Amino acid sequence: MKSFLEAIDERVLVCDGAMGTMLYAKGVFINQCFDALNLTAPGRVAEVHGEYVRAGADVIETNTFGANRIKLRGFGLADRLREINVEGARLARSAAGNHVYVAGAIGPLGIRIEPWGRTGKDEAEAYFREQAEGLVAGGVDLFVLETFRDITELRAAIAAIRSICALPVVAQMTIEEDGNSLDGTPPEQFTPELESYADVVGVNCSIGPAPMLETVERMAAVSRARLSAQPNAGRPRDVDGRNIYLSSPEYMASYARRFMSRSVRLVGGCCGTTPEHIRQIKMAVKASMSDAPKSGRSAVASSPVVVRTPEASATVVPLAERSRLARALSEGRFATIVELRPPKGCVSDEVLAHARALKSRGVDVVHIPDASRGARMSALSLAVLLQEHANVETVLQYSCRDRNLLNMQSDLLGAHAMGIRNVMLVTGDVHTVADYPDATVVFDVDSVGLTNVVTRLNQGLDVGGQPIGRPTSFHVGVLVNPAADDLDREIRRFEYKVEAGAEFAVTRPVFDPGLVERFLARVKATRLPIILGLWPFDSALNAEFMANEVPGTRVPEALLERMRRAEARSPEAAVEEGVVIAREIGRTLRGAVQGVHVASPSERIESVVEVLTGVSL
């Protein structure tokens, strides 16, 4: 049998269809690890491979799309990674015989890598490498890297394969109906970039054949690469709780002919496609083979495509011009920030009154946290109201929790349009859901990734690297915790945030000055303005709560005892003692930080002002 590359240069090859769709149809529950079926139900997997071979597929993919360490770890199967991949390749090899190529299927890790996530490119490459090693050991002829949304992660996967073998690589992005990747990168950008790394460049999944054809045309207009296309069988429709794909085999086959005329050398199917779809596609390919271009660019004329590059971005706004807080920190002035939580309901009169009072007392900025639960006003809405009706500058805390990357980008662009300039970017707390302690909220990226997002927006670029016109002018803040149990990890993440573009940092509430001094000594080289977080206890109960129930918070026993003695005298004495303690900590550290951030458990404005007055003197 000729090599895969020799064959694909001579004729259009047909890849198989969906593995998951077929296994599901054979009774495999959706919550199972489909990759583990290579070990637990090899007969079912082999049966699917055989059906695709009999349908006429030239290439079949191994049942290993999610067989990487990260995804297998979720099923408790990380220690069987090599075995699952080796057996996946062997099952496909057995079905393929000596006339069908076996492609090692590799999908995304299921986590974000830098610059959007905490996993480094080298770590991602190591994860992909160990999966690829298992597939090579099982006897694959090539690799199909599919359903990637992040070109950086896809390049890491290609690099991993290139480091262990010289087998051909098909690199496929997944796209939206507008042709851009799920992260917004257009085909005019990702195609030429991937062309220099992969043997075949393509798109798969997410959409049906019609919008995929338009994307392929755009790819062919900017590249002479061999192209691949593996669309879904249309968009799924919910029928009695099941996703049903409605594109018929004949319809898919009609688009296979169109793909061939646009430089596509490998055509197949993704979600919802079956052996019958592949049989019809194979027939269409055979019938059209005499008209198909031999290789390279399509002969179909296309309009010139203008590729917008990062160099087209506008000038970055200087830091000191972004906000009053940015100017104060740039000039070395001591800044004062007070936290005001969003109110319950839609009436903000009391918070507006508090903001006006704080402004009259000389407070520089009001911070709006994005951590409220229940029926409370959104942080962004309150921040806009305070700026418009109380004429006070705000710092909007923005959390990654329950938001995907593109949602965050849209939110932040909207916030900028409404006048928000200072943002504090946080990952967000993990909250359990109702009566399900193992169910948590969703995180697409963490605060490091989000900082990278905002830095790009400030450079006039979106997450896909495309110009957005006039750049944003956010003043970028992050949260740090000098009392973290694992200080080395906290400092490492802080340094990542600085590298990503952080311009100031606010500490979590501090109750032990020694911990802050130790932290500051270790991050001195970053030269980033650090704003000290202070929290005046309003009762002994509140002090004990902070000490025992708030992760990452350390309250010395001596402070707890002071609050207990004050509480024994009277509730009012406890409030006064909480203010005294906060002022003492602030005064001790005033010369080492560039400002203070005060939050009160009961939003006692008088207590907050007393703390600020004591620290600022």
Tens digit of each residue's pLDDT (9 = 90 or more) over 38-76: 999 999 999 999 999 999 999 999 999 999 999 999 999
Token pair, residue 270, equals: 């993704």
pLDDT at 288 over 90: no
Tell me what the pLDDT averaged over the chain comes to. 89
What domains does the chain contain, in order, with CATH numbers? 4-291 (3.20.20.330), 312-537+594-616 (3.20.20.220)
Residues facing residue 239 across a β-bridge: 242
Token pair, residue 201, equals: 């460049």
Between the two ends of the chain, the Cα-to-Cα distance in Å is 84
pLDDT at 313 over 50: no
Question: Kind and range of the H or E element at 532?
Answer: strand 530-534
Mode of pairing for the β-strands spanning 432-433 and 436-440: antiparallel
pLDDT at 447 over 50: yes
**Model-level pTM?**
0.75
pLDDT for residue 522: 94
Token pair, residue 137, equals: 């050991």
By residue count, the chain amounts to 617
The listed range with the strongest mean pLDDT (244-258, 291-305, 440-454, 559-573) is 559-573
146 Rama sector, left if φ>0, alpha if ψ -120 to 50, beta otherwise = beta
Half-sphere exposure (Cβ direction) of 339: Cα atoms closer than 13 Å: 23
DSSP string, 74-102: TTT-GGGHHHHHHHHHHHHHHHHTTTSEE
**Contact in structure between 428 and 148 (CB atoms under 8 Å):** no
Tens digit of each residue's pLDDT (9 = 90 or more) over 564-603: 999 999 999 999 999 999 999 999 999 999 999 999 877 7
pLDDT for residue 373: 63
Report the percentage of the chain scoring pLDDT > 90. Answer: 69
Alpha carbon separation from 36 to 30, 88, 157 (Å, rounded):
13, 9, 21
Band (pLDDT 50/70/90 cuts) for residue 459 is: very high
Token pair, residue 247, equals: 């594109």
Tens digit of each residue's pLDDT (9 = 90 or more) over 97-131: 999 999 999 999 999 888 888 788 999 999 999 99
Band (pLDDT 50/70/90 cuts) for residue 371 is: low
pLDDT for residue 193: 92
Which of 196-200, 299-303, 377-381 shows the lowest per-residue confidence on average (mean pLDDT)? Answer: 299-303
Give CA–CA dist 293/13, Å, rounded.
Answer: 13
What value does the mean pLDDT take over residues 505-520?
A: 95
CA-wise closest residue to 72 among 104, 124, 102, 110: 110
pLDDT at 263 over 90: no
Interior angle at CA 174, CA 169 and CA 179, nearest 5: 120
Residue 343's contacts (CB-CB under 8 Å, 6 or more residues apart) are 350, 351, 376, 377, 382
Token pair, residue 232, equals: 């879904």
